[in-house]
Structures are given as C-alpha cells and as structure tokens.
Chains A and B, each alone.
Chain A
Amino acid sequence: MSALLTFTDDGIYCPEGDFYIDPWRPVDRALITHGHADHARDGMRRYLATDLAAPVMRHRLGEISLETLRYGERREIGGVTVSFHPAGHVPGSAQIRVERGGEVWVASGDYKLEDDGLSTPFEPVPCHAFITESTFGLPVFKWRPQAEIAEAMNAWWRGNAAEGRASIIGVYALGKAQRLMRMLDPSIGPILTHGAIENTNAVLRAQGIALPPTLRVTPDLVARDHPGAMVLATPSALGTHWPRRFGPAQTALASGWMGLRGVRRRRAADRGFIISDHADWAALNTAIAATGAERVFVTHGYTSIFSRWLSEQGYDAAIVQTAYEGESLDDPDPATGEEAEKAQGTQSPAAAP
C-alpha cells in the first residue's frame, strides 16, 4: 500500500483520495490550506477549502469551482477522510488532516501558535506524520508577545504624529495588515490603506471580521487632510514613489525577518517591527512535539538545518522540495498585493530595491 501522502512535482498528493494539497501546477482536485498566493494558485479544476478562507480565494482567483468545509468537519474522498483544523496563520487558514484506517497525516501549510486576535487560533492535531514549514526554523528567531509589539508600534506612531510626520508600514495585504490594524490604537490618528490592502479589508469585513475604520489611499487623497496618519502599504510600495504623497514620514517594515539586523539595514526602512504569521523556533518545536508524530516532513524554509535538528531530537525527519515561500520581503504581485515574488531557493529573505 502506498504512503498516505506523497510528494510529487505538482504538489503534495494523496493517491488513495486522488487529490492534491496546495499544488503549484494545475490539477483536477486541490485542497487548499489558505489563501496566500503560493498555496492557493489558479488553474485547478476543483477547490476545497475552509468556509473562512473561501471569500479571499474567490476574490483572488475569480470564478472557481470551490467547495467549503467548516473547521473539524469531516469529508470522505476516495478511501480517505479529510478535515481542516485551525493553523492560526491568517483568517481561514488550516492544517489539513488526512486519515486512512487509523493512520493520520497532517499537512500544516503555514502556521503560528500565538493567538493574533484575528485568525482562529492554532490547534494541535495528533498524527503519525506531520508536514511542517520551517520559514523561521533557526534558534535565532524568537518572537516577543504581540502586546509588546503593539505597544512599540503605537509609541512609534504617537511620536511621529507628535512631530507632524506620517507613519508608513510595509506589510502583507492578507493577514498581517489586518492583524496590525487590530493592534493599532485608533485614538492616535487615522489609518490609511494602500488599495491592495483595502481590497482585502473589504472581503474580510464582508465575511464578518471586525476591523477598525480605514481610508483607502486614492490618487486624489490629500495627505495634509490626514495629519499624523498611519499608512499601511504593501512592502513593494515602500520602494517606489508611492509614499512621497504623505510628505515627511517615517517608514517601517513588519516582518519576522526584521529580527536580523543585516536585513533590517539593507531594507533601509527607519524601523523594523519583528512580527510574523509564522512560528518561531520555539513554536515550531512545540507544535511538532504536540502532534506526537514520529515522522516529520520539512517543506519550505531552513529545511536542511531544521530537519537535521529534528533527526537529532529523535524524529524520523526528511526534507521535501516544494514551491512554497514562507514569509518573503520580495515584491508582492501588483495585481493582488499578496503574492511574493518567487524566492530563489528557500532560505533567504531576499530584498526589494
């Protein structure tokens, strides 16, 4: 009998159920962990995702054949049972559990353990084999609690506002941007948003996710009408003329990569806030231990280092080549503001101009 999940050139494949998980080439049936562009690609004949991820996927991929499941709801496909469980990464993100006759595999997509107040919090799913990312799979990555980052971010905003400067933060349009909005203290000033972010806001608000009031930046917006504003932009917009319209401003990037001084300095933003929707070193180890899995497959990130570490901890660990990107500081796709430009290799927070 073949393995429950196999790794092919098209994506993670389940022979028994004849479906793929987060495939990167067009296939007949795709189960999708979450709406980020390196996991939910177009061209699949049928999609299956959580009901919470569906609106963003429809927004990004247009007219697609999409069925949905609620978290925990089971579905028989071929000879296997599948279900989706919260991954805590972005709204609607899921770990996909696949079971056949008592054997359980879990493909976790991207995940984090901290409750960000926006996404349904991560739940450990006991399994025999666990497929994990390792975007920040090095012991130098340690996140501080979200409340601490919120305090630093608001203090920075408040200081800039007091000096008559705008505050501009570069963030992912789906997930990170909305997480930050809910961390911001709206009493400091107005929150303005880049179009790519505001489009995603509209989708999330329509599905009932509460976000603070925001104002879309349009060509006719006059910056001086909004003194001391917080501006949320895509990371790529920071590198263009786009921020100039706000006059005197301080810039920041919000990413796990900001934990590395070299990356922070190369990006030449004034500030770097260390905040990620991916698990840090401790959380990766905690999550893997909580599954009780014996076998661990490491997909994207510091795969060779992290799998060696896991092997030394007694896991049966292996590296799997995929097309997933983790968290990248590369140029997002201008059409959606979400897709990171293809990272070369998987180990680098490559930088934009």
Chain B
Amino acid sequence: MTTVAVIDYGMGNLRSVCKAIEHVAPTVTVKLVTDAEGMRSADRIVFPGQGAIAGCVSALTRQGLLDALEDVVHNKPFLGICLGLQALYESSEEGGGTRGLGILPGVVKRFPDDMKDAVTGERLKVPHMGWNQVHQVNDHPLWAGIPQDSRFYFVHSYFADTSDRSYVAGITEYQLRFTSAAAHENIFAVQFHPEKSQHVGLKLLENFVNWDGSVQSRV
C-alpha cells in the first residue's frame, strides 16, 4: 500500500491537501508527518506551505526536519506546493532575505507594487490571487491529461525567478513571467494550489500519486 506523507510543520491548513489526495486516490494512505522517521518511511512526499518563508524554514529546523527533507527530496517522488516550491530555491527576498534549501537554482522575489494591466491600465493587485493560466513548457508526466494553459488557483505575493530553464515545467504571466511549476528529476513543485484548483488540480494530484518519480515524457 502506497503511503503519501504530507509534511506538517505547523504552517496553515493541511486538511485540504490531504482530503484532495484521498479523493483522487482512495486506496493510498495519506498521513501528516511531523518527524524525520515519518518522512523516510513514506513512499512519496508532499511539501505544502503557506504564510511566511522565514517561519517555514525555522519551523523545519526546529522540528529537526531539514536533514530528512534534504534526504527524501533526492530519492522519492516529491511534490512542493506554494511555499513548498519557494523554499526549494536558494533564497527569498521575504523578511529581508531568507536562505532557502538551495535544491533548485534561482531566487524568490516579491511582485512589484506598481504593476498595471497592459490592456486596461488597471492596477494589478498583490497578492496575485485567483485563477491564472499555466503554460506547460515540457511534457512532464504530471501534466498528463491536463489541457495546455489550464487555469489553476494561486494566492501568493512572491514568485520564483530562475534563469535556468531546464528546471522549469510551467510558466504564468502576471505582468511578468514567473515559474509556476518547477521540475527536476523526482521533484515537481507548483506555485498554485492543486488541492483548490478543481478538476485540473485533482488531475495533477492523481498524476503525482501514480508517478514513479522519473521524468520520461508521456507518449
């Protein structure tokens, strides 16, 4: 029986993530894990997160999860969600500069305050909140069955900026273009919330539960 560990480090509501995975994969065991052993014994890992990144990193440190996280991130199918994507980069501007896990190349920046819609001239709000399109830039197994440019639900004020496109799986435009999905070997990470993105979000979670962690493209 497959076990999916959802890392619980005290940041926000994890119930939705668990319920969504249970919904698409009734036969898998979904459990919240708060310790390294729970992570190491699971078959696949979901790293969710909301709120502030400094709080996230210090909570992981406090719970002694950093070593285990750096371990499993290299050898099990791994899905980062929202802050769980941002934390994988080298650093974030948030909180006056916070060091990330450095697993993906790039930095996390805040959306500028003075963004305007190119067509209407209206002010673009921060947080970037609502349903925006994700342009799939590769043929990753987690995109299987999800139409190109589908809309997913976002809520965030910071975004991942990377110059190395080989780590990018999806991009989204909100005045500027940012990495809305990142992929590297057994890691897939999304800025949006699949657990709140209705059909396409549930499809992505289903794909994750069925993913062997390799990056062979679908046929």
**Do these two chains really belong together in a complex?**
no
Q: A residues engaging B (CB < 8 A)?
A: none
